Structure 1
Amino acid sequence: MKPQTLLSALSLTLILAACAGSPTPGTTTDTGQVPGSTSDLNTVPQAVGPDTVEPAFDNVPIVSGDVHYQAPEPFPGKLPKDARLGEATIPSGARLSAQALPGNAQTDRVDLKVLVLSSGAGDFGIDSARAMLQQSGVPFDVLDASQQTLDQSRLINADGSGKYQGVILTTNALINESTPGVYTSTLDSGEWDTLFQYEAAYKVRQLALYGYPGVAPEDYGLRAVPGAETSTTSMTPSSAGKAVFKDLTGTALPVQYAYSYPSVPESVPGVKTTPLLTDPQGRVLAATSTAPDGRERLLLTVAENPYLLHTELMSYGLVQWLTKGVHLGEHRRFLQVDIDDFFSAGDHLNSATGQLYTKPFRMSAGDLISVYYQQRDIRSTFKAASDFRYSLVFNGGGAKTSAFGSCLFYWLSSDQLTSMAKCLKNDFDWVNHTKDHLRMDVMDLKTATDQIAGNFTIASQLGLPVNRKSLVTGEHSGLGNMDPTDDGSHNDDDVNLPKQDLGLGRSNPNMLQAADSAGVRYLGADHSVASQWDASCPTCGVVHPLDNKLFVMARWPINIYYYATNPAETLKGYNNVYAPGGTRPYWDHALNYSEFLDKESDLALTHMLGGGAFPHYMHQTNLNQYALGKSVASDWVQAALSKYSKYSTLPLNTYHWDDLGAYMQSHTTEEKAKAAGSLKGMWDRKTNTVVLSNLSAGTVPVTLTGADGGSLYGAYKSQVVSLSGNRTVGVTPR
């Protein structure tokens, strides 16, 4: 529609021409501008108000989709709100006597790997230890102290070098509560002596993820404050804490659903204690301390859980402290937001009736202009997201390739949205979503080729800088999440067949062949479908089992459903599911829009802090400008970034899809090599060099944080090396 701004420069002749039809590109207007000219396309379009009349369209794909449910809170596991501890009893050395260091001990050389010591079943911290190390790509071993003996053979290699650069205790005494209120260590005194001797000799730091501030098995110089125990508090970094948690802003970290033991420092001979995090009363909840034998230790007196915000926010800094900033892998954070079905029209929910409108919704040129300004405001407002841009996942069958590109006179076009897309083409990331959004679970090769390669052709005709190696199929179809009885007769209609996760092995081979032939290498998938992501490696993608040239990257669904254009419609869909009386009731009342954004941004924050590069996805309906400069998609982005920026300064990466695919594939190859034990690093702390070793055939990428070279991310440098055999790299520990 016509922009809602004063157009005094336009003559009555031009307005009459608009009523008669689209001008021919190259026709000069009485303003001196030529629609579609270089000067026109180099002009920033003016912002316009919300549309009151949707622009006319015909022969545009109409998209009906499924509602993909995302859990309303990020708490799938048992929360440690009752994770109580107490002073532990250490059994005398029944399993192990103290051992002397071997004669060939090389105390300056340690493998780049971490040892996690667990107390076995019911362990409070094992999930958190795994999560924080996986998020940073740090190799680790887990020793179950209730089943395995900790002797020197588990700590020192045959050549005398150390097996581990750091040690994590899931609780400081590795307790087993054999009877209520009785806490017994699963390591005996000889095992503790062996561990402490190793840490002292090899200068290995120790992190206790949760501990009672007492004296057993060793004294950290802290004492619990009687009666101060709580499961709800907050933690504020001290100046020393800011030096450990380098990315934190200094805002107090909320602690909920996690038992804690506020403590006060106690003078202990030979022990130097430095508080890192304190509660509102100034009592200590985290501290480093130096033992009389010189060992460096960090104790948290707050219980951890990988889905609780305080754990997620501390994880990055804890790993960097433990490893002295030198380790295999890296911790990198992302904000990728895909907008599906661009150029198409989609179902539109009536928030009053709960039914769909007869007329579908297709975003307008004015909406796209608004998104341009919303995106620009997001980048300028949030320093951590200075490179943010939306990925427009498009169906070219809904575009009009003959429409001229224009930033000023798009409203004269036969398809305003296409004209504005040509104007703003370099401001968004463009991803193939097939030509017509047809279901591809059961589709012949010719049609699949037309849908995939044909959409690339349309992108070329439109002049879009499309990612040439990336594809997201409609409804993520063709990847085995399907109706097993589907005969292909509903590929081009609105019937949403019931789906079952049949696995990637049931992918449509015609779709895979058509994608492969079109040069596609990266396939978007659905993170809510179990077979389409790798639970063993939470930051990895999946090599397609039927075609190893295709790499699958799961995307996070969002609880802003595909038929919502404004807050009222968003809430209607959400509360129909999660409010009392909904299909999956969860909350005790129907949420308002502010509450909805708060809950959804909690989920987004968990995903961002988790270090995975998986995109979130929404739909073109969600980009409707429901109020001046506002869309529900950007409301969600801003809510997530407001919450993230409150606590962390670590930059959020936004990659073009082809670059994202290449990064994810390289990262996955590296993580799988480390899991297989074929990728290693040996740190010589006398020379501050790391020998990287690839024990497998071929070349494998390896990332080294703390390298002297490479690129800076946050406070630490990391270097990526293509490795075959061995390579020595200089490092700088912190």
Structure 2
Amino acid sequence: MQKKSIRTALSTACALIAVLALTGGPAQADDAAPRVDLRVLVVTDGGPAVDAIAAELDTAGTPYTKVDLQQPGRPVINAGFLADTVEGRPRAKFQAVVLPNDNPFSTGSPEMAALATYERTYGIPQVDAYTYARPAVGLQSAVGNGYAGSMDGVEAQVTTAGRAGPFGYLDGAVPFEDNSSSVGESYAYVSPPTAGADFTSYVDAAIPGRSTRGSLVGEYRHDGRRELVVTFVYNRYQQQFRLLARGIVEWMTGGVHLGASRNYFAVHVDDVLAADARWDTDLNCTPDVDCGQGQGMPNPIRMTAADADYAATWQNNRNLTLDLAYNAEGSADHRLANNGVDLLADKLIADRNRFRWINHTYTHAFLGCQQDVSVVPWRCDTLPDGSTKWVSRSEISYEIATNRVWGQSAGLPLENDELITGEHSGMRLLPQQPTDNPNLAPTLADNGVSWLASDNSREAGQRQVGPATTVPRYPMNIFFNAGRVVEQVDEYNWIYTRRQQGGSGICEDNPATTTCLATPLNTTTGYTEYIAPLETRIALGHVLANDPKPHFIHQSNLAEDRIAYPVLNGVLDGYARLFADDTPVVNLRMKDIGAELHKRSAWKSAVQAGDVTAYRIGDTVTVEAPAAVAMTATMPAGTTRGTTAFGQAYAGKVSGWVTATAQPLALTLPSSAAPGAVHDGAGTPATNETAPRARVPAGVLRQVPYSRES
């Protein structure tokens, strides 16, 4: 064992004394200090609250062990399961425990007794994922003293203690969703602490009919143990959980854990310089796209120089850089038709360094199979032998290289290894084209493409296409063929109403579609009152889910009525209202998003394979992983790696990636990161009384209505 500094030894010894003082044991030397593995024990009964916390850990890359109480043959939770000795040192196998409630076991359960002893001995915190208010958890009974009922539409608040503690990344408001008047989405027990209980509320709400407030999330210290008592039900998708998930993890781990979480938002604007076809509100189709041959009059939508100037000013005011995916032929065609003049291209080129730019191919050609558009929907053309006729390697290369050369000549700040093909074409597209164009992968290699955009609604995960790794993008339900509000609403009505209402029938054909309308929207007010709020909620949900995938819209949505901005403003305004200044939106370019997703995937695989070992001894954290795997961790501010500061600041902590080598990663925590104090408080002693199952409204067992990608 390597020698530690005097500071390290003293800190470790103090931490050990604090732990042993709880059990009356004698102070021991530093070499007997306990080792605490950076892994969470998650005990589930199949309810949505525990599963939500497990999903948060999984997304962040935080190791955990799940024990399903409903699974026959599950491990028995006893002293040997929870702790042992490694190289003569006591080891706590879990740094935190998550339970469905304060005691999900039967009365007098030896498993609950083992957990209580384990938590007292090693100072391990316990999260009660969802329980009801009563003295056994430090709260007055909700019936008669507080409130038990729906929380739909209620705005809770982070308390002063919560702001100073695990929820300091929030500005204060914690609004509960109310997405459907016909579905109960949230239920809570809101009650004040019991007199004399050592209880600190972190999130509270007004008690209806009273002048007092009651706790929804709080810390109960008793019998040498610490519990985070959560008294409202939730699932992983709901905004109230997404807002508090980070704080729950920070509380249970003391801000020292593997994995990391940030809030990301990137917006790609496709078809820049080109013109998008326009929806025909009379024919309910788009000429030159899906109308029958000869039907309708094409009336393309194209940004103007004024639209470009508005976009540049908007992003500067909102501190968010747009990614412009351009098709240079659009400018060439415009100049041919306008005596060499293209004010839009001139303006964008003049402001080129204010945006990020992505190669979107020269003509926006379809790069998969040769399309037979004589039928609706189109089909792949075939050769005489019945095989698929593919777009050639030379045609694909022309699209990539010609657009790149134009961009370089215009001085655009390009990253040559990024590419977005028109309609994400070239890759498989069901049902017409079930496989990639075999000419795509070698052409990507010819042109040095490493990052290839894909459609998240078709392929949610990354995959390799030759040398390129895909970057899935979320399509926003703001249509490419709509430049005006009336067009957006008319097309929305056609898609999402029933045939008897003049709609497409998608609701009859696919009952799983959640965006179906009971009645058509008003074409004047429907966008601002329904569509924009819905799309805002969906996109903000992605932002709050530690999901770096970009969203994409089209240049038509920045033209004419500029219908994208109400949604983009809604996301950013909503975010600013909820989060503190030290937790900004992270706005990455495409290749950096791809790299982040790729590192996460490799890290997750290593964690799930059991190839990662991490533990804390005093103020030293040690992490071991397979060589060349990028490791990620979240630590308190002031954590160092040797003499170098670790990570980047975010949400009051520091986090970052470190590539594993043959030597373990050693991090030194600041003195302020001592293990959380455990008070032998005057609250109600721990018992093995089984906690009754708290009420779960029907709507919380699944993703709430209107919360899927279109």
Q: TM-score, normalised by structure 2?
A: 0.75
Equivalences for residues 32-181 of structure 1 within 5 A: 108-120=34-46, 123-147=47-71, 148=74, 149-159=76-86, 160-174=90-104
Deviations 1:359-406 (A, max 9, x none): 2222222221221122223x2xxxxxx3x11111112222339979xx
Aligned to 1:398: 330
Deviations 1:165-221 (A, max 9, x none): 1111133333xxxxxxxxxx3685210011111111111111112101235xx5434
Deviation at 1:533, TM superposition (A): 2.3
2:604 partner letter: E
Q: Check the 8 A contact 1:286/1:298 in 2, yes or no.
A: no
Aligned to 1:481: 429
Unaligned runs of 5+ in 2: 1-24, 179-184, 287-296, 370-390, 508-515, 675-710
Equivalences for residues 411-426 of structure 1 within 5 A: 414-426=341-353
Q: In 2, distance between residues paired with 1:730 and 1:402?
A: 60
1:276 partner letter: Y
Q: Check the 8 A contact 2:218/2:230 in 1, yes or no.
A: no
Deviation at 1:246, TM superposition (A): 1.2
Structure 1 residues 510 and 131, CA, compared in 2 at 3 Å: closer, same or farther? same
Deviations 1:334-378 (A, max 9, x none): 11000111121111124466454522222222221221122223x
Equivalences for residues 564-603 of structure 1 within 5 A: 564-579=482-497, 581=501, 582-583=503-504, 584-585=506-507, 586-591=516-521, 592-595=526-529, 596-603=531-538
Q: In 2, distance between residues paired with 1:398 and 1:645?
A: 37
Deviations 1:124-146 (A, max 9, x none): 32331122213432111111123
Aligned-residue identity in percent: 26
Aligned to 2:678: none
Deviations 1:96-131 (A, max 9, x none): xxxxx9x999663211111111124xx232331122
Aligned to 2:149: 230
Aligned to 2:260: 330
1:511 equivalent among 431, 440, 456: 440
Aligned to 1:660: 593
Q: In 2, distance between residues paired with 1:718 and 1:278?
A: 29
SS in 1 for 2:547: coil
Q: 2:665 matched to 1:727?
A: yes
Q: Check the 8 A contact 1:107/1:202 in 2, yes or no.
A: no
Aligned to 1:23: none
Deviations 1:8-62 (A, max 9, x none): xxxxxxxxxxxxxxxxxxxxxxxxxxxxxxxxxxxxxxxxxxxxxxxxxxxxxxx
Aligned to 2:703: none
Structure number with the bigger relative contact order (C-alpha 8 A, sep ≥ 6) is 2
Q: Check the 8 A contact 2:139/2:191 in 1, yes or no.
A: no
Aligned to 1:200: 120
Q: Check the 8 A contact 1:470/1:523 in 2, yes or no.
A: yes
Q: Check the 8 A contact 2:263/2:547 in 1, yes or no.
A: yes
Q: 2:228 matched to 1:280?
A: no
Deviation at 1:634, TM superposition (A): 1.8
Deviation at 1:483, TM superposition (A): 4.1
1:716 partner letter: K
Structure 1 residues 219 and 343, CA, compared in 2 at 3 Å: closer, same or farther? closer
Q: Check the 8 A contact 1:145/1:186 in 2, yes or no.
A: no
SS in 2 for 1:611: coil
Q: Check the 8 A contact 1:564/1:570 in 2, yes or no.
A: yes
Q: In 1, distance between residues paired with 2:427 and 2:33?
A: 51
Q: Check the 8 A contact 2:267/2:323 in 1, yes or no.
A: yes
Q: In 1, distance between residues paired with 2:107 and 2:316?
A: 56
Aligned to 2:569: 638
Q: In 2, distance between residues paired with 1:292 and 1:560?
A: 53
Q: In 1, distance between residues paired with 2:565 and 2:655?
A: 32
Q: In 1, distance between residues paired with 2:313 and 2:340?
A: 22
Q: In 2, distance between residues paired with 1:358 and 1:400?
A: 19
Deviates further, 200-209 or 553-562:
200-209
Deviation at 1:699, TM superposition (A): 4.3
1:593 partner letter: Y
Q: Check the 8 A contact 1:394/1:432 in 2, yes or no.
A: yes
SS in 1 for 2:222: coil
1:718 partner letter: S
Structure 1 residues 158 and 480, CA, compared in 2 at 3 Å: closer, same or farther? farther
Structure 1 residues 702 and 452, CA, compared in 2 at 3 Å: closer, same or farther? same
Equivalences for residues 568-717 of structure 1 within 5 A: 568-579=486-497, 581=501, 582-583=503-504, 584-585=506-507, 586-591=516-521, 592-595=526-529, 596-626=531-561, 631-649=562-580, 650-684=583-617, 686=618, 688-694=619-625, 696-706=626-636, 707-708=639-640, 709=645, 710-717=647-654
Q: In 2, distance between residues paired with 1:422 and 1:401?
A: 17
Unaligned runs of 5+ in 1: 1-100, 175-184, 380-385, 405-410, 487-501, 535-541
2:314 partner letter: Q
Q: In 1, distance between residues paired with 2:550 and 2:310?
A: 22
Deviations 1:252-279 (A, max 9, x none): 42254111112222135xx401122222
Q: In 2, distance between residues paired with 1:521 and 1:153?
A: 48
Structure 1 residues 674 and 106, CA, compared in 2 at 3 Å: closer, same or farther? farther
2:54 partner letter: R
2:216 partner letter: A
Q: Check the 8 A contact 1:118/1:143 in 2, yes or no.
A: yes
Aligned to 1:63: none
Structure 1 residues 203 and 412, CA, compared in 2 at 3 Å: closer, same or farther? farther
Deviations 1:387-436 (A, max 9, x none): x11111112222339979xxxxxx99522222122111111111111222
SS in 2 for 1:467: coil
Aligned to 2:469: 551
1:633 partner letter: A
Structure 1 residues 353 and 445, CA, compared in 2 at 3 Å: closer, same or farther? closer
Q: Check the 8 A contact 2:471/2:590 in 1, yes or no.
A: no
SS in 2 for 1:556: strand
SS in 1 for 2:439: helix
2:456 partner letter: H
Aligned to 2:131: 211
Equivalences for residues 138-537 of structure 1 within 5 A: 138-147=62-71, 148=74, 149-159=76-86, 160-174=90-104, 185=105, 189-214=109-134, 218-226=136-144, 228-232=147-151, 233-243=154-164, 244-254=166-176, 256=178, 257-267=185-195, 271-281=197-207, 282-351=212-281, 354-356=284-286, 357-377=297-317, 379=318, 386=319, 388-400=320-332, 414-442=341-369, 443-484=391-432, 502=434, 506-529=435-458, 532-534=459-461
Structure 1 residues 597 and 188, CA, compared in 2 at 3 Å: closer, same or farther? farther
Q: In 2, distance between residues paired with 1:698 and 1:648?
A: 35
SS in 2 for 1:690: strand
Q: In 1, distance between residues paired with 2:143 and 2:254?
A: 31
1:212 partner letter: Y
Q: May I ask how many residue pairs the two structures share in their alignment?
A: 568
Deviation at 1:311, TM superposition (A): 0.8
Deviations 1:410-468 (A, max 9, x none): x9952222212211111111111122212222322111111222322221122211121
Q: Check the 8 A contact 2:217/2:229 in 1, yes or no.
A: yes
Q: In 1, distance between residues paired with 2:264 and 2:177?
A: 24
Deviation at 1:612, TM superposition (A): 0.8
Structure 1 residues 242 and 370, CA, compared in 2 at 3 Å: closer, same or farther? same
SS in 2 for 1:561: coil
Deviation at 1:641, TM superposition (A): 1.3
Q: TM-score, normalised by structure 1?
A: 0.73
Deviation at 1:579, TM superposition (A): 4.5
Q: Check the 8 A contact 2:456/2:473 in 1, yes or no.
A: yes
Aligned to 2:479: 561
Q: Check the 8 A contact 1:438/1:474 in 2, yes or no.
A: yes
Deviation at 1:607, TM superposition (A): 0.4
Q: Check the 8 A contact 2:50/2:98 in 1, yes or no.
A: no
Q: In 1, distance between residues paired with 2:140 and 2:192?
A: 6
